[in-house]
Amino acid sequence: MPLSMSRPWKHPDSGVYWFRRAVPADLRALVGKREEKRSLQTKDPSIARRRHADALAEVEARWSNLRGGGRTLSEREAHELAAVSHDRWLELYKNNPSEQTTWRVDLGDRLWRSPAALAGPLASKFLSEYDPDVAKLRDMENWCRAGAKDCLAARGLVVDQESELVLAKALSFAIQRASLTLAGYAKGEFGVGPRVGGAGGVWQGNSSVVPDTGLPVPLAELAKGWSAERKPAQKTLYEWSRVLRQLEAFLGHDNAGRILSEDLIAWKGSMVEAGLRPKTIQNAKLAPVRAILQWGVDNRRLAKNPADHVTIEVKAIATEKKRSFTDDEARVILAASLREKDSVRRWVPWLGAYSGARVSELCQLRVEDVVEIDGIRCMKFDPEAGPLKNSSSERTIPLHPALIDSGFLKFVASVGAGPLFPHLQPDKFGKRGGNGTKVIGRFVRSLGITDLRLSPSHSWRHRIKTLGRRHGLAKDLLEAITGHGQKSVADSYGEFPMEALFRELKKIPALDLKATKTPDQR
């Protein structure tokens, strides 16, 4: 079916309008694709028509430049191209101008005459010992050079190296002027704002269409903005940053503005060839990239999210699905725990068995987290004790009678104060659970429980849900105990009284350890 070239195309699934235009045959080799397409980021047909016209004008101008072949830029032309970057830089930081720390205005006048730009690597290293700003100057100049290349590519301009340098310098002057203006904004000196429209740009004042500035948008910069807004756990930030570095290594650059859906599909293919599991690719690789790029779209750093609709089918494999501990397996572990002198191996399995709490939550418990509420002894999972998985993880739940009968409160009293398991060293993310998981894993496997469908730590959470169904626990109260998130607005109404949680938890009977069978007997 031929593409509609004269009006916005409405996506049949999302309802969002797109710009789509076939690339003329004589330009396909230069453009590198058969079709130009981009999201117009609206479901409103009137807005879509206006943005489609802007996009069409930009594309036609770029194609015209490509047909014109090589040329030389005058300084005036370079400054006109760079003017859009000036406006965008102001728009990006105008509400919180003190957050602009990327561009060093104190170094702006030293650009293009620094020794680092003229000397080789050895000389640069030597000079940096005497001038600590050399490295930063080199980074700023390289940033402008990369921005010039992207700006030219976005407009289809083919120029000589000297013109590239002229444009790079013009970009540096534009960003320097904008940054000085922002420095004034930070002191309350308002009165000068971004221009409406601009040479070579399609941005019109308050339009939500992201202008094409030609400046690179580093992935690390998007990750920094996403992190500042979302406040992820330190471990999440570490892992997601590592994924971005892996993507950068595959692409050969870190400019989010240059990433295409085809690039991410190729990256996905490389991970499939490397033998990564589909679930890992989907959840641990593609999902972080998609989320950070979407933050860039939402905050007007990117025009579209190239990770949209880039996915991989994840099929559940019966032999890999985690399962609960059976009664016999639970008895073996709990009976063995009774003989342990190490406090982690003695108490973490019991706490997991009768609460379904995560090992990471249990390993960072403190004496002060074991409290009494309405006459009921409880344990509190508090973010002050250490990082929690999400907001639902912060909760207080009653102690099952089996824990009290087994002497847990006496153990807590013997510790006195501070962490219940002080010999577990926190990892670099401040969590004791990492080391605790290793201890429990080795302990459980040493008992002959080797089924790979069992997680020595997490199968207690599966078991508590199984027991909840078996003994008829109220679903919402069971989820409050385990710290699973609320599914609807109605679930968030009201509170969970401790007596109600205790009433439900007591429905789960204590295991009779006298009937314990060893793995060989089972």
Least reliable range by pLDDT among 7-16, 63-72, 390-399, 453-462? 63-72
* Tens-place pLDDT, residues 437-485: 899 999 999 999 988 888 888 898 999 999 999 999 998 899 889 888 6
Average pLDDT (374-378) is: 93
What pLDDT does 488 receive? 54
* Tens-place pLDDT, residues 6-24: 688 888 878 888 888 887 8
Model-level pTM? 0.51
Distances (CA, A) of 392 to 234, 262, 385, 462, 480: 18, 37, 15, 17, 8
Domain 327-515: top CATH class = mainly alpha
Average pLDDT (262-272) is: 90
% the chain with pLDDT above 70: 83
CA distance 332 to 326: 10
What pLDDT does 342 receive? 93
What pLDDT does 51 receive? 83
Q: Which CATH superfamily is domain 219-315 in?
A: Tyrosine recombinase, N-terminal domain (1.10.150.130)
- Polymer length of the chain: 522
- Reading the block at residue 374, the tokens are 């309405």
Q: Where in the chain is the domain with CATH 1.10.150.130?
A: 219-315
Bridge partners, 360 (sequence order): none
* Tens-place pLDDT, residues 402-443: 999 999 999 999 998 999 999 988 877 777 888 888 999 999
Q: Where in the chain is the domain with CATH 1.10.443.10?
A: 327-515
CA distance 143 to 171: 10
Helix (H) or strand (E) holding 139: helix 134-155
What pLDDT does 172 receive? 92
> CB–CB of 433/297 below 8 Å?
no
- Reading the block at residue 110, the tokens are 């030293």
What pLDDT does 119 receive? 44
* Tens-place pLDDT, residues 189-224: 765 444 433 333 333 333 444 555 557 889 988 999
Average pLDDT (118-132) is: 46
User: Residue 4: pLDDT above 60?
Assistant: no
What pLDDT does 69 receive? 63
Q: Which residue has the higher pLDDT, 387 or 166?
A: 166
> CB–CB of 248/283 below 8 Å?
no
Please, which contacts does 251-257 make with residues 24 or more away whose CB atoms are closer than 8 Å?
254/216, 254/218, 254/219, 254/220, 255/146, 255/150, 255/216, 255/217, 255/218, 255/219, 256/217, 256/218, 256/219, 256/222, 256/293, 256/296, 256/301, 256/302, 257/150, 257/216, 257/217, 257/302
What sign does the dihedral 409-411-417-421 (CA atoms) show? negative
Bridging pattern class, strands 9-10 and 17-22:
antiparallel
CA distance 405 to 377: 12
* Tens-place pLDDT, residues 280-321: 899 899 999 999 999 988 888 888 899 988 888 876 555 567
What pLDDT does 44 receive? 85
* Runs of H (alpha helix) within 325-448: 327-338, 343-353, 359-363, 401-405, 408-415, 433-446
* Runs of H (alpha helix) within 428-482: 433-446, 459-470, 475-482
Backbone angles phi, psi at 36, to 5 degrees: -95, 125
Among the listed residues 328, 350, 345, the one whose alpha carbon sits nearest the alpha carbon of residue 440: 345
> CB–CB of 103/144 below 8 Å?
no
Please name the amino acid found at residue 226: W
> CB–CB of 285/271 below 8 Å?
yes
